[in-house]
């Protein structure tokens, strides 16, 4: 049934160059004052920056709708939060509103430390994810159960070595993903905070708007995607990032992270726009073969990560922080390189409390499998991208 041989799966363009700015620097946003450049067609219907209470908001990307109705936005830099003390509930409510609409919020030079990073994160949801490496299995440099060490630094201060399992584990983060889609109880927000001096030569994180990408799909494709369920597996993205080292996860790794099942098409928070919930962790469309699943999943990831849906954020100073919503965006890191300098970024991850937090039930999986088998493969009239 498959139109693709398994060997083609690895040849899809899922490894990205470790440079940003890329060849076309006009496509790159440092998000640094006047250096911002508009990326989308048409005029935005909001000023370049505007006030919301005590906050100043500078949107990053906008899209004008075909019908000429109001623009949609993705990403915003927010100034005016007083990080020197606990953030007031009023400001938290305003920030959440912004987050629902923009999906990625960037803050500069917050001056937050570990405990205030965690304290602010706790204001955004009831539970934080516990760092799986905290109990001594791997690097435990930070010493806080609620902070993930996303740095390239070992406990003794040395830079992570190319032959280490941690190095290979990190390579999967350079593939487009959402955090924790491989958990049955998924997470909604991630807050990544930089400590110390940024990397020499630039340090970037890239973001893609999965809502706008969904909106722009042809209707007949949307119809065929509507009821699909996806199996997400952390070890799948680790294998794509590092096919030899992560050919098979170690038994304790597999036991710690079994696969999880979520709907492909979901409703984003806030205005309830539809969005694609997809990531490099996505391994199977329930009811389809591995090859056919990967074919669709990577076509969709490529669709979502066309330059018009993507901006890249440069980490400029210690204290910079980015807060994204995993339910309505994808992101990726730059991969480790042998010439990299220390990059100390730490992440708090907030467990979802929305209606799709727990993905789909066993019964829904069985029903989706049945339906997908009956409908058969999704056929594209022409390549999407």
Residue 233 near ligand OGA by CB under 6 A: no
Query: Which residue's Cβ lies closest to Mn ion?
Result: 179
Cα 193 off chain centre by: 15
Total interface residues for Mn ion by CB under 5 A: 1
Residue 300 near ligand OGA by CB under 6 A: no
Residue 292, classed as helix, strand or coil, is: helix
| Bond from prior residue into 21 cis (ω within 30 degrees of 0) | yes
32-38's contacts with Cβ under 8 Å and 24+ in sequence apart are 32/314, 32/316, 36/60, 38/62
Residue 329 near ligand OGA by CB under 6 A: no
Written as six digits, the tokens of 40 are 């989308």
Residue length, the chain?
385
Q: Convert residues 45-84 into a mask of x (bound to ligand OGA by CB under 6 A) and - (unbound).
A: ----------------------------------------
When binding is defined by CB under 6 A, the residue of 58, 121, 187, 205 that contacts ligand OGA is: 205
The nearer residue to ligand OGA, 2 or 18, going by C-beta atoms, is 18
Of residues 187-216, which lie at the interface with Mn ion (CB under 5 A)? Answer: none
| Cα-Cα-Cα-Cα dihedral sign, residues 175, 233, 146, 341 | negative
To Mn ion, the closest distance from the beta carbon of 162 in angstroms equals 21
Residue 331 near ligand OGA by CB under 6 A: yes
Q: Which does 205 bind (CB under 5 to 8 A by kind): Mn ion, ligand OGA, none?
A: ligand OGA
Of residues 341-380, which lie at the interface with ligand OGA (CB under 6 A)? Answer: 345, 347
The nearer residue to ligand OGA, 217 or 345, going by C-beta atoms, is 345
Separation in Å, CA 277 to CA 228, 255, 258: 11, 24, 18
Closest by Cα among 37, 44, 36 to 63: 44
The nearer residue to ligand OGA, 171 or 360, going by C-beta atoms, is 171
When binding is defined by CB under 5 A, the residue of 129, 179, 209, 292 that contacts Mn ion is: 179
| DSSP H/E element including 331 | strand 330-333
The nearer residue to Mn ion, 101 or 179, going by C-beta atoms, is 179
Taking a C-beta distance cutoff of 8 angstroms, is the pair 267, 273 a contact?
yes
User: Strand 104-107 and strand 72-79: pairing?
Assistant: parallel
Of residues 157-186, which lie at the interface with ligand OGA (CB under 6 A)? Answer: 173, 179
Separation in Å, CA 151 to CA 198, 328, 371: 11, 24, 43
To Mn ion, the closest distance from the beta carbon of 325 in angstroms equals 12
To ligand OGA, the closest distance from the beta carbon of 278 in angstroms equals 15
Residue 78, classed as helix, strand or coil, is: strand
Residues that bind ligand OGA (CB under 6 A): 150, 173, 179, 190, 192, 205, 331, 333, 345, 347
Residues that bind Mn ion (CB under 5 A): 179
């Amino acid at each position: 049934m498959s139109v693709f041989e398994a060997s083609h799966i690895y040849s899809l363009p899922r490894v990205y160059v470790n440079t940003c700015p890329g060849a076309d620097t006009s496509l790159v946003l440092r998000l640094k004052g006047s250096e911002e450049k508009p990326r989308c067609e048409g005029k935005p219907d909001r000023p370049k920056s505007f006030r919301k209470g005590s906050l100043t908001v500078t949107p990053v990307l906008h899209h004008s709708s075909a019908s000429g109705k109001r623009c949609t936005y993705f990403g915003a830099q927010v100034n005016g939060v007083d990080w020197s003390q606990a953030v007031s509930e009023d400001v938290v409510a305003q920030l959440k509103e912004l987050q629902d609409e923009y999906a990625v919020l960037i803050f500069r030079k917050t001056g937050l430390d570990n405990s205030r990073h965690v304290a602010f994160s706790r204001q955004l949801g009831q539970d934080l994810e516990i760092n799986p490496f905290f109990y001594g299995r791997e690097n435990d440099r930070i010493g806080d159960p609620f902070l993930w060490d996303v740095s390239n630094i070992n406990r003794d201060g040395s830079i992570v070595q190319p032959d280490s399992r941690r190095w290979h584990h990190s390579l999967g983060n350079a593939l487009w993903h959402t955090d924790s889609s491989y958990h049955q109880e998924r997470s909604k927000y991630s807050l990544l905070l930089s400590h110390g001096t940024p990397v020499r030569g630039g340090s970037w994180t890239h973001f893609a708007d999965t809502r706008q990408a969904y909106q722009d799909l042809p209707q007949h494709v949307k119809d065929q995607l509507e009821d699909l369920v996806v199996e997400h597996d952390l070890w799948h993205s680790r294998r794509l990032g590092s096919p030899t080292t992560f050919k098979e996860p170690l038994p304790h790794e597999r036991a710690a992270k079994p696969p999880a099942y979520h709907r492909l098409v979901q409703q984003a928070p806030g205005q309830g726009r539809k969005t694609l919930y997809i990531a490099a962790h996505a391994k199977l469309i329930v009811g389809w073969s591995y090859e056919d699943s990967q074919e669709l999943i990577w076509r969709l990831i490529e669709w979502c990560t066309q330059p018009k849906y993507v901006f890249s954020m440069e980490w400029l100073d210690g204290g910079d922080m980015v807060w994204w919503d995993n339910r309505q965006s994808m992101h990726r890191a730059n991969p480790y390189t042998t010439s990299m300098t220390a990059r100390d970024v730490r992440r708090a991850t907030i467990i979802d409390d929305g209606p799709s937090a727990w993905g789909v039930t066993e019964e829904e999986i069985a029903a989706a499998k049945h339906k997908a088998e009956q409908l058969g493969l999704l056929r594209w009239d022409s390549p999407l991208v």
